[in-house]
A = this chain, B = another copy of it.
């Protein structure tokens, strides 16, 4: 096993094993017809040479990379991480590998990323959300591979969709709050535009409040997404100072909701008695903290699972590529201790 000079190729392995390169190639595939002993001899020769299969060359010749490109807003978000993990596990069963990139909640960044990813010739591309630059859309449209938009229900989808309605989910939480007797309800979320899911959640809040004939103007802008725990805490501080008689607040995520909760704790404001708090995303923290957080389970893992299954069906031809799938997930309201 030499560590200098050029790395061994299939031809080197073939020579050593006394077979043709084609036989070496077959020995490295699991489903090809090849004699057991021949395969073992080839693999032994490969091992002795320290041969490592070159996917790049195989990809070029076979025109298949077994890559699936995935873009997420942030690599540092447990919800998206859950989706990616489920996706990764589902896809790995078919030998598909994820090529992951993050956009920092920026569609310009997403556009660059999409272009970069498509150059690697993935078998499919999964993007988070339905908002893209014009050129980003165009790139996805022209890609001759399955395109799946997730975590959202775009009105004008590019291809397939695996998502849920962010607005509708929050509407249901507002309904629950109103039935529980809350009237002066606020919303803590990020600045508009960048995070479309967050924007949708706020829109759902406003629509539901208006529907109930309640004041929908208690909106705290927490800064640029993603909204951290710290920003949630700061926002709660501003809420208390601006709208002191607020009875309940819905936060754009469990992380900001937890931050808001801690600010109440620091100020001696009882949750839920003096202030009820709702979050979004069913992060682990929401089920653990004291009091635990009422939240919305968006089924991040299921999004990944369904997306993986969809991609596999499409690649296997078990599903018609021409008929875009629209897999709608119904989020669950989880009522816990932070509301009464």
Residue ranges of A at the interface with B (Cβ–Cβ < 8 Å): 1, 3, 7, 50, 52-57, 59-60, 65, 75-76, 78, 81-82, 84-85, 88, 97-102, 115-116, 118-121, 139, 141-144, 228-230, 233, 255, 258-259, 262, 265-266, 284-285, 287-290
Q: Which residue of B lies closest to A289 (CB)?
A: B262
Task: Decide yes or no: A1 and B284 within 8 Å by CB, A56-B56, A102-B88, A119-B53 being known contacts.
Answer: no
> A56 contacts B121, CB within 8 Å?
yes
Q: Within the oligomer, what is the number of copies of this chain?
A: 2
Task: Decide yes or no: A120 and B56 within 8 Å by CB, A142-B1, A229-B285 being known contacts.
Answer: yes
- 4 further interface pairs, Cβ-Cβ under 8 Å (given A52-B119, A53-B119, A265-B290): A52-B115, A76-B78, A233-B288, A258-B288
A37 nearest CB across to chain B (Å): 23
A77 nearest CB across to chain B (Å): 8
> B88 contacts A84, CB within 8 Å?
no
With A and B bound together, what is the CA distance between A115 and B82 in angstroms? 25
Which of A3, A7, A60, A288 has the largest number of chain B CB atoms within 10 A?
A: A288
Task: Decide yes or no: A76 and B82 within 8 Å by CB, A100-B100, A229-B285, A262-B288 being known contacts.
Answer: yes
